[in-house]
Structure 1
Amino acid sequence: MNPSGDDQPGALPALLFQKLASGVPGVLFSYWLSADQRTHYYPYVSAQVQTLFGVEPDQLRHNADSMFEVIHPEDGTDIADSIRHSAETLQPWVYRARLRMRNGEYQWYEAHSVPERQPDGSTLWYGQFHNIHHYKELEQHLRESEAEFSFQAGFQKLVARLSGEFIQLGFGSIDDCIDELLRSIGFFFGVDRAYLYAFSDDHLSMTNTHEWCAPGVRSLIRGQQRVVIEGFQWWQQKIRLMHDQNQVVFIEDVDQLPLEARLEKEVLAEMGVSSMFCVPIWIRGHLMGFFGVDSLSKRRWRRDMADLLIIISGLLSGALERNRLEEDLLNQSIRDPLTGLHNRRYLMPRLEEILAVCNRHGDRFCLAMFDIDHFKRINDNRGHLVGDQVLIRFTELLLNHTRTTDVVARFGGEEFLVVFTEVTEADMEALVMRIMAAVRAEEFVADNDVFNITVSVGAMCVSEMTGAPATPEALIALADHRLYQAKDSGRDCLVDASGLSRL
C-alpha cells in the first residue's frame, strides 16, 4: 500500500502538486496512523514545514514525532486523544495549538483534516494547518478588554456603594463603615490584608486602628498599637514624601528593599509581608495616617493600582473628615465651652444609661452635687475673669480626684455634678470629703491677693430609691435638695443619707 496515493490513476504529477502546495500559506499534509496506533508518519508534507518550523520533511516521512515536539507543552496534552477519536469515528480532525517557530517563538496554528480508513485498518488524514496567531491575539485582546471593562465597572460599582454608605452613615457608625470598606477592598483586589493606620501628631509613632484579614491570614492589629517609628529612617523618609508630595508608598518586593531599610525589612518579613501599598489619608490638610494593602506572596499588581487606591483613600479621607466635624459639633453641643466638662444635654441621657445598667445588673452608683460657696461674691468683688479661673481650677480638682469611669458634668453656673460608679455610700462620702479638702487647700491668686474657696455638697446613692421610681430627675432632685440643706447649714459641708458631715 502507498498511503501517498502517488500511483493512483489521475493523480497530479508530483512536481505540479509541490508547486500548488508552495502557494498555500499554511502546510499541506497527509498523516498516517497504524491500526494499532503505535506507528505514525507523514506520507506527504509541504516544504513550508521546514521554512516555518525547521523540521525536515524527509524525517517526517519516516516518523512524525519531530512534528509533535514543536507543539507547546500546554497545548499538546490531549492531542493524542483527539487523533484517536477522529480515527475511531472518522470525523474530521480539528485542533488548535501553539507551534514553535524556527526562531524559537510560539505562534498559534489550526489543523483541519479529513480521515480515511485504509484496507489494513490504518487511518490516513488529508488536510492542512494554517496560522491563526493574529486571530488568537485579537481574541485575547478582546477577552482582556472585556475583563478590563468588567473590572472597571465592578470597581465603579464598588466605589458608588461605599460612597453611598459613607454619605448615609450616622454619627458613631464610622468604624463599621471603615471595616466594611476594608473587607470590600480586600476581597475585590484579592489581597491578604487591608488596614488603616493613624500617625501621632509628630509622626514618630503610629497605631493600627482598623484591619481586615483574608481567611487564614494572621491579624496584626493588637501588636500595632502606638508603635514607635522614630528609629526607622527609611520609613520616616517615606512619611515625608507622603506629607510633602502626597506620594504613595509601593514596595513591590520586601526582599529587594535597600540596605538603609534593613530594620523595616526585618519587621515586614516577621509579619510575612511580601509586597504592599500605603496611601496617605488627609484630614483638614493634615496627614492623619495611611490606608494600605498587603500581599503575603509575590504577585503582579495592576499598573494603575496606586491610582485606584488613591480613589479609595479619598473616600476614607472624606468620611473621616466629615466624622471629625460631626464629633466637633457634637462636643460643642454637649460640652461646656469654659471648663470642657459635659453639660446637662449629655448628662441626662447618660444617667438614663447608667440607671438601665443598674436595673439589669444591680450596679451601684452615687451622685453628688457640688456648689462653690459665695461664688457670686467672687464675681462681684474680683471680676468675672477671676470667677472663670476659679471654675476652671475647680474643674481640674474634680477631674484629679475622680476616675475615668465617673461622670463629671457642669450642671449650671457654679454647680457641678459627679456620678460615682461602683461605690457604696461609705466610699462616696470618703471621695467627696477628699475633694472638699483639696478645694479648701487650694490657693487662688487675684491682683496679688491670695484667697481660698469652699464647696457645699448634697449627695445620694441609688440604693436609697426604694419607694419612688429611680429616674434621672428624681436622683438629681434629691441631691439638689440636700445641697440646699448643706448651704442652709452654714456651707462647706456634705449632706447625704446619714446627715451632715464636715471636715
Structure 2
Amino acid sequence: MATRSNNGQKFPMSARFFQKLASGVPGVLFTYWLSADGQSHHYPFVSNQVQTLFGIDPSVLNENADAVFSVIHPDDASAVMASIQESALKLEPWCYCARLRLSHGEYEWFEAYSAPERQPDGSTVWYGQFHNIQHYKNLERSLRESESEFSFQAGFQKLIARLSTEFINLGFGTIDECIDELLRSIGEFFDVDRAYLYRFSDNYALMTNTHEWCRDGVQALIDSQQEVSIEDFYWWQEKIDGMVAGNRAVFIEDVDSLPHEAAPERALLQAQGVSSMFCMPIRVRGRVTGFFGVDSLRRREWRQDQADLLIIVSGLLSGALERHRLEEELLNQSIRDPLTGLHNRRYLMPRLNEMLSRSNRRGEGFALAMFDIDHFKRINDSVGHLGGDYILQRFAEILNQQTRSMDVVARFGGEEFIVVFNAVEVNDVRQLVLRILEAVYDETFVFDDQIVPVTVSAGVAGIEELAEIPASPDALIARADDRLYLAKQSGRGCLVDASGTLRI
C-alpha cells in the first residue's frame, strides 16, 4: 500500500511506517484478532510502546496474545475476557479499564477502546488503542479521600454538637444516662469495641470503671473493674503520672509489643482481649480525676489525629462532670424543696436566665407552664395539712413522671409549680401539659382512707411571645401566671396558652 503527497511523491504504507507513526502516540495502538471459536488470538499489529511499558516484544504478540493477558491483574482478568467476548458477540465497541503490570513490576490502570469488525471466516478483529489512566485514578482516589475526610469531620462535629447539647440540657440525676449515650455514640462512630470511663481514688492508688459501652458480642468488664489496685502495675503508674502532670494521652498501638516492664499490664490486657487502646485524662476543677478510653480487640490502623479527636471528647466529658459536681454542691445548698424534692426558685431562676441567654444567642426555643392545684385550701381543710402535703408530693411525682430529663421542674411556692419545657414546639408543649392534666385527672388520691378529688389548672407562655417586650424570666413567669388566672376563671381543670383555653 502507498499514499501520495500533494507534490505527487509516493510513501510506502509498510508495517515499519505504522510503527513509526504509532511511536508518537503515548498509548499502545493495536489490531487484535480472535478466532471464531475463541481458542486462539494474536495482535497482527501492535505498537512498540508495548515493549517500553510492559517489556513484551511486539513480534511475540504477532504470533500469540497471551503475553499481554498475562500482565492483567488477576482480579481483573476474567472480567476483561468476558467483556471481549461480549463485544465480539454484539459487535459493539470494546471499552474497558483494568490494571496492567508494568515492566518494573507495579500495576497501573489502563483504559482500552477499540471497534470490532467481523471477518469472513467468523473471526473478529478489533482496531483500537489503550493508554495509561493511573493519573486520573489517583485524582479520583484523592477526591474520594477528600470527600470522605470532609464527611468524617462533618459527622464528628455534628456528633459533638449533639452530645454537647444533651450535656447542656441535662438535669439532676441524668448525668449517667448522658455519659452512657456519649460512650455508645463515640464507640460506634470510631468503630471500636469498648468505650469506658474510669475514676481514680484521691491518692491514685485505685481505679474504678464507672461507665462502659461494649459492642454486641464483646464481654463487659465493668463488674470486674471496681476499686482495682494499681499497686503492682508500675508501667501504668508512670502513665498515670503523665496524665496527671502533663495531661498526656496513653496510646497502646499493639498490646503484644508492650515493653518488658509492662508484663503485668500486657497479661491483663491480653486476658481482656484488647489489641490496642487509647486513654485520655479527665479533669475536674483542674485535677485529673480519671480517664476516658476506647479499646479495639483487633489490629487496626488508627487515624493520625485520633488522639486529638478523643481529647475533644474527654474535654466534653470533663466539662460535663465538672458542671455535675457544681450542681451537686448547689444541691447541698438547699436548691431543692424539702417536701417534694423538686427544684425551688433558687435553682429555677438561674436556669431560666441561662436558657434565655441561649435563646438570644442561638435561637433555642423553650416554654414555661405554671400549674396550680385547684381548691387547695379546701383540700387542707378537708384532710388537714398532712393530707395537703401528701397531695403536693404526689403531684410532684406526676410532674417528674410526665416530663423529660431536659425539662426543669420546680415548686414555685405553696401549691404552684413550674415546668420549663426545653427545645420543643408550641404544639408539643400543649400536648405535654394536657398529658399532665390527664395524669392528675386519672390518678386516685387517697389519704387516711379518704379519696381526695384533685384537679390542676395551667397557664403556658413561650419565649417567642416576648419578642416585643424585654425578655426576662420574670416577664415569662408573669405571662404564664396571667394565663393560669384565666384558667381558674374558666372553671379550672384546664390550660390556657396563646391559642386560648383547652380542656382534657
Q: Shorter-chain TM-score: which interval?
A: 0.5 to 0.7
CA distance, structure 1, for counterparts of residue 326 and residue 341 of structure 2: 22
State the Cα distance separating 1:467 from its structure 2 match.
Answer: 5.3
Q: Which residue of 2 aligns with 1:495?
A: none
CA distance, structure 2, for counterparts of residue 251 and residue 352 of structure 1: 57
Q: Which residue of 2 aligns with 1:122?
A: 123
Q: Which residue of 2 aligns with 1:499?
A: none
Q: TM-score under structure 2 normalisation?
A: 0.65
- C-alpha distance after superposition, 1:428-471 (max 9, x if no partner): xxxxxxxxxxxxxxxxxxxxxxxxxxxxxxxxxxxxx9957799
Aligned with 2:76: secondary structure?
A: coil
Q: Which residue of 1 aligns with 2:284?
A: 283
Q: Which residue of 2 aligns with 1:376?
A: none
- C-alpha distance after superposition, 1:52-80 (max 9, x if no partner): 11122222222222211212223334111
Q: Which residue of 2 aligns with 1:56?
A: 57
Q: Which residue of 2 aligns with 1:141?
A: 142
CA distance, structure 1, for counterparts of residue 256 and residue 56 of structure 2: 44
Q: What amino acid does structure 1 have at the position aligned with 2:217?
A: G
Aligned with 1:28: secondary structure?
A: strand
Q: Which residue of 2 aligns with 1:197?
A: 198
CA distance, structure 1, for counterparts of residue 28 and residue 313 of structure 2: 54
CA distance, structure 1, for counterparts of residue 217 and residue 287 of structure 2: 35
Residue pairs, 1:305-344, within 5 angstroms = 305-333=306-334
Judging changes above 3 Å, is the alpha-carbon distance between structure 1 residues 272 and 467 closer, same or farther for their aligned structure 2 residues? closer
Aligned with 2:77: secondary structure?
A: coil
Residue pairs, 1:147-186, within 5 angstroms = 147-186=148-187
Q: Which residue of 1 aligns with 2:262?
A: 261
Residue pairs, 1:35-434, within 5 angstroms = 35-333=36-334, 346=338, 349=341
- C-alpha distance after superposition, 1:461-492 (max 9, x if no partner): xxxx9957799xxxxxxxxxxxxxxxxxxxxx
Aligned with 2:282: secondary structure?
A: strand
Aligned with 1:75: secondary structure?
A: helix
Aligned with 1:55: secondary structure?
A: coil
Q: What amino acid does structure 2 have at the position aligned with 1:315?
A: L
Q: What amino acid does structure 2 have at the position aligned with 1:259?
A: H
Q: What amino acid does structure 1 have at the position aligned with 2:294?
A: V
State the Cα distance separating 1:279 from its structure 2 match.
Answer: 0.7
CA distance, structure 1, for counterparts of residue 134 and residue 309 of structure 2: 33
Judging changes above 3 Å, is the alpha-carbon distance between structure 1 residues 316 and 470 closer, same or farther for their aligned structure 2 residues? farther
Aligned with 1:332: secondary structure?
A: coil
CA distance, structure 1, for counterparts of residue 70 and residue 113 of structure 2: 19
Q: What amino acid does structure 1 have at the position aligned with 2:204?
A: H
CA distance, structure 1, for counterparts of residue 267 and residue 16 of structure 2: 73
- C-alpha distance after superposition, 1:397-446 (max 9, x if no partner): xxxxxxxxxxxxxxxxxxxxxxxxxxxxxxxxxxxxxxxxxxxxxxxxxx
Q: Which residue of 1 aligns with 2:25?
A: 24
- Are 2:276 and 2:295, in contact at CA under 8 Å, matched by a contact in 1? yes
Q: What amino acid does structure 1 have at the position aligned with 2:73?
A: H
CA distance, structure 2, for counterparts of residue 271 and residue 64 of structure 1: 56
Number of aligned residue pairs: give it: 346
- Are 2:236 and 2:265, in contact at CA under 8 Å, matched by a contact in 1? yes
- C-alpha distance after superposition, 1:256-289 (max 9, x if no partner): 1111111111111111111111111100011111
Structure 2, gaps ≥5 residues long: 3-10, 343-388, 395-445, 453-504
* Structure showing greater Rg: 1
Q: TM-score under structure 1 normalisation?
A: 0.65
CA distance, structure 1, for counterparts of residue 142 and residue 73 of structure 2: 21
CA distance, structure 2, for counterparts of residue 34 and residue 352 of structure 1: 98
Q: What amino acid does structure 1 have at the position aligned with 2:215?
A: A
Q: What amino acid does structure 2 have at the position aligned with 1:18?
A: Q
Judging changes above 3 Å, is the alpha-carbon distance between structure 1 residues 467 and 149 closer, same or farther for their aligned structure 2 residues? closer
State the Cα distance separating 1:352 from its structure 2 match.
Answer: 6.7
Q: What amino acid does structure 2 have at the position aligned with 1:176?
A: E
CA distance, structure 1, for counterparts of residue 275 and residue 390 of structure 2: 51
Aligned with 1:158: secondary structure?
A: helix
Judging changes above 3 Å, is the alpha-carbon distance between structure 1 residues 127 and 276 closer, same or farther for their aligned structure 2 residues? same
CA distance, structure 1, for counterparts of residue 101 and residue 448 of structure 2: 96
Identity fraction in percent:
65
- C-alpha distance after superposition, 1:337-363 (max 9, x if no partner): xxxxxxx9547649979x98xxxxxxx
CA distance, structure 2, for counterparts of residue 131 and residue 85 of structure 1: 23
Q: What amino acid does structure 2 have at the position aligned with 1:332?
A: Q
Q: Which residue of 1 aligns with 2:34?
A: 33
Aligned with 2:32: secondary structure?
A: strand
